[in-house]
Chains A and B, each alone.
Chain A
Amino acid sequence: MFSITEEIECYIACITDSSLLPLMGMNIFLALLLFTVYLKAKSSVFRIFSFIAAQLSMVFAIGMVASAMQCSQMLTIEIYTAYVLASSAIILLLPCVYYKALIKRYRARPITEVMDWPQHFVNILSKKAEVYYYDSAVPRAFASGKAVFLSMGMLELMDESELKAILAHEVWHIRHNNKTPILRQLSIMTFTRNRSEDELELLADIFAGEVVSKDAVESARAKLN
């Protein structure tokens, strides 16, 4: 008969006896470090690299734990299952909270602090989307989670119909992301530039063209090039 306390005792005994203990600790520490790098990374190459490296060092750590086990293999399997469950939960939840990290990183503020109509306009297209602006002269717009980000540079460069086209474009991304299967979402998060990105941009532009006007989309694009 298995008892969980016995198992844990055996576990602790096996691990403390193991010569691999410092290596295991280092590996887990490394994995956590790499996950932090992954979350903070700004370039896509960095993100891919840190994500894969983090997963690898986690798998190594679990492998070492398994090899150190002499008495019970069960708990290792249980721990592995727990890890898989926890990491999938994080992967599932991350897109929902990641935009909050972006709000902090860009010190973004709700757009309603400077102008009212963009949030009203977005409310028509999506019930949950929130519009933020941030302090930078470089014209940029992007969406994450349920947030649309516009730089001040974008706000001052575009006229109202162009801004509407940009907002519609970003809202399309938000709607589309919510419909994207988890695995693809993960691949988009990790590999921020993949081949189908141009395709997505085109679809978002088509949507913006339908909601606002083709001319608005084209003149906004022209101003950005």
Chain B
Amino acid sequence: MVKLDRINLSNEGLTKFFSPIEAQIMEVLWTNEESATPEITAKTGIPLSSVAGTLDRLVKAGFATRKVDKKGQRVRYLYSAAESMDNTANTITKKVMDSLVDTFGKVAIENFHTYQNKK
């Protein structure tokens, strides 16, 4: 989960940085204000047995937040993304760039410049 040693550049889209299940859950959280667990399992089509542990991890890692919602004698979690997708993209980009600059110094920075000029 966006740990530098787990970034896999050959994967598609968000799964470069998240596991497939994490990515699917985060997409649901980014596109909805608040989601209860059954909504997340329904929208991702992933069974609760895989979703539950992943949700715990996403909360622990700070990508998702949850609050306990009491309704009469029923309780449930309501999940939301800790940050917007853009902000998360920002955090990930910074992390990756930091590590590139850390390793390659000037070469990395020069490459960022040529990249910017090309755009």
- Measuring CB to CB, which residues of chain A are less than 8 angstroms from any residue of chain B? 114-117, 136-139, 152-153, 155-157, 160
Which residues in window 63-119 of B have CB below 8 A to A? 66, 68, 70, 73-77
Contact of B77 among A115, A116, A156, A160 (CB under 8 A): A156
Whether A137 lies near B76 (C-beta < 8 A) is no
Report the minimum CB–CB distance from A155 to chain B (whole Å). 5
Chain B residues in contact with chain A, CB under 8 A? 36-37, 48, 51-53, 55-56, 66, 68, 70, 73-77
* Shortest distance between the CB of A91 and any CB in chain B (Å): 33
| Chain B residues within 8 Å of A115, by CB | 70, 73-75
Contacts of A117 in B (CB 8 A): 73
Q: Which residues from chain A contact B37 at a C-beta distance below 8 Å?
A: 137, 153, 156-157
Listed from nearest, the 8 A-B pairs whose CB atoms lie closest are A137-B52, A156-B76, A138-B52, A137-B55, A114-B75, A155-B75, A115-B73, A153-B52
* Inter-chain contacts of A136 with B (CB < 8 A): 52, 56
Which residues of the other chain, B, contact A157 by a CB distance below 8 angstroms? 37, 48
Q: Smallest Cβ distance from B107 to chain A, in angstroms?
A: 44
Residues of chain B lying within 8 A (CB to CB) of residue A156? 36-37, 74-77
CB <8 Å contact, A139 and B52: yes
Does A152 contact B70, Cβ atoms closer than 8 Å? no
B48–A139 CB distance below 8 A:
yes
Q: A137-B53, A138-B56 are in contact. Are A152 and B75 (CB under 8 A)?
A: yes
Q: Is the CB of A114 within 8 A of B68?
A: yes
- When C-beta atoms are compared, the residue in chain A nearest to B40 turns out to be A137
Given contacts A115-B70, A156-B36, 14 further A-B contacts (CB under 8 A): A116-B73, A137-B37, A137-B51, A137-B52, A137-B53, A137-B66, A138-B56, A139-B48, A139-B52, A153-B52, A156-B37, A156-B74, A157-B37, A157-B48
- Give me 6 A-to-B residue pairs in the complex whose CB atoms sit less than 8 angstroms apart, sorted by A's number: A114-B75, A115-B74, A136-B56, A152-B77, A153-B77, A155-B76
Whether the pair A114, B70 counts as a contact (CB closer than 8 A) is yes
Bound form: Cα–Cα A114–B69 in Å: 9
A152–B68 Cα distance when bound, in Å, is 9
Give the residues in chain A near B48, CB-CB below 8 Å: 139, 157
Q: Determine the distance from Cα of A117 to Cα of B75 in the docked complex, in whole angstroms.
A: 12
Q: In the complex, how many angstroms separate the beta carbon of A80 from the nearest chain B beta carbon?
A: 47
B33 to chain A, nearest CB (A): 19
Chain A residues in 8 Å Cβ range of B76: 155-156
Shortest B57–chain A CB gap in Å is 10
Residues of chain B lying within 8 A (CB to CB) of residue A160: 73
